Amino acid sequence: MKTVLVVDDALFMRHSIKLALEKNGFKVVGEATNGLEAAEKYAELFPDLVTMDITMPDYDGIEGVKLIKQINANAKIIMISAMGYESFVMDAIMAGAAGFLVKPFKEEKIVEVLKAI
């Protein structure tokens, strides 16, 4: 079973993603609410996959990606972005994010994306 770290400052989003993933055979092993916490949790849990929100307080998702990539250059990170955040998505991709999803998304989509990477 693939393990996932879910990073989002909104409890609601974390919960939605967790529900969707756990219904579909993923195991959410940790949650984090900003980029730094994400990296810390990543180092601790070494999950197979990470879903990462972009706008978060203090350390945003881009920084999160960069930090995690420092820990493991092969980390598989999926960005969760709102509409209209092209430049952030671009930064994330350049920092090494494996893909991205645009909110709002359907349950199948996130599962599909995570299964693909």
| Structural tokens at position 60 | 């945003």
Give the angle subtended at the CA of 97 by the CAs of 94 and 100, to the nearest 5°. Answer: 110
Give the integer Cα–Cα distance in Å for 86 and 69. 21
Q: Does 55 bind another protein (CB under 8 A)?
A: yes
Q: Determine if the peptide bond prior to 47 is cis (ω within 30°).
A: no
> Which of 5, 21, 51, 59 contacts another protein by CB under 8 A?
59
Enumerate residues 80-109 that contact another protein by CB under 8 A. 81-91, 93-95, 98-100, 102-105, 109
What minimum distance in Å lies between the beta carbon of 1 and another protein? 19
Q: Does 57 bind another protein (CB under 8 A)?
A: yes
Binding pattern to another protein, positions 8-27, x when CB under 8 A? -xxxxx-xx--x--------
Burial of 17 (0-12, 13-18, 19+ CB in 10 A): buried
Residue 93 three-state SS? helix
Contacting positions for another protein (CB under 8 A)? 9-13, 15-16, 19, 33-37, 39-40, 55, 57-59, 63, 66-67, 69-70, 81-91, 93-95, 98-100, 102-105, 109, 112-113, 115-117
